[in-house]
């Protein structure tokens, strides 16, 4: 019982780390990519690297055990919420205020 609980807690922690790496890396890539001369290279390379590491991480953490895989996925989703909270809300586009046309007297 304790061994199973510890195993699930470690899987949750691994999911948190994987999620922090994935979503933190995505945030970093967007910041670097938008000012780069070759943004497609940044975005494509980052996607391949992040996705490959996440797939390998889930494979090793899960080890054929669906409970550990679910715990890892829960940690991954929690990390998404945490990274989103830490990086702030998205900047929404605001339309410039237009001056109203004056009316003739």
Mean pLDDT for the stretch of residues 49-58: 97
Instruction: Supply the mean pLDDT for the chain.
Output: 88
- Residue 73: inside a domain, yes or no? yes
- Residue 28: inside a domain, yes or no? yes
99 falls in which pLDDT band (50, 70, 90)?
Answer: low
Domain count for the chain, please give it: 1
pLDDT in tens, 5-30: 999 999 999 999 999 999 999 999 99
92 falls in which pLDDT band (50, 70, 90)?
Answer: low
- Residue 64: inside a domain, yes or no? yes
- Residue 7: inside a domain, yes or no? no
Q: Which distant-in-sequence residues (6+ apart) come within 8 Å of 74 by Cβ?
A: 12, 15
- Residue 62: inside a domain, yes or no? yes
Range(s) of the domain holding residue 56:
22-87
- Residue 8: inside a domain, yes or no? no
87 falls in which pLDDT band (50, 70, 90)?
Answer: confident
- Residue 63: inside a domain, yes or no? yes
Rounded-to-5 percentages of helix, strand, coil across the chain: 75, 0, 25
- Residue 6: inside a domain, yes or no? no
């Amino acid at each position: 019982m304790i061994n199973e609980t510890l195993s699930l807690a470690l899987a949750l922690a691994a999911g948190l780390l994987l999620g922090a790496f994935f979503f933190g890396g995505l945030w970093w890539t967007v910041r670097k990519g938008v000012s780069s001369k070759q943004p497609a290279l940044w975005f494509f390379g980052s996607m391949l690297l992040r996705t490959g590491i996440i797939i390998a991480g889930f494979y090793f953490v899960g080890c054929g055990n669906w409970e550990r895989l679910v715990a890892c996925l829960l940690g991954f989703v929690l990390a998404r919420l945490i990274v989103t909270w830490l990086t702030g809300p998205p900047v929404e586009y605001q339309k410039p205020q237009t001056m109203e046309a004056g009316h003739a007297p």
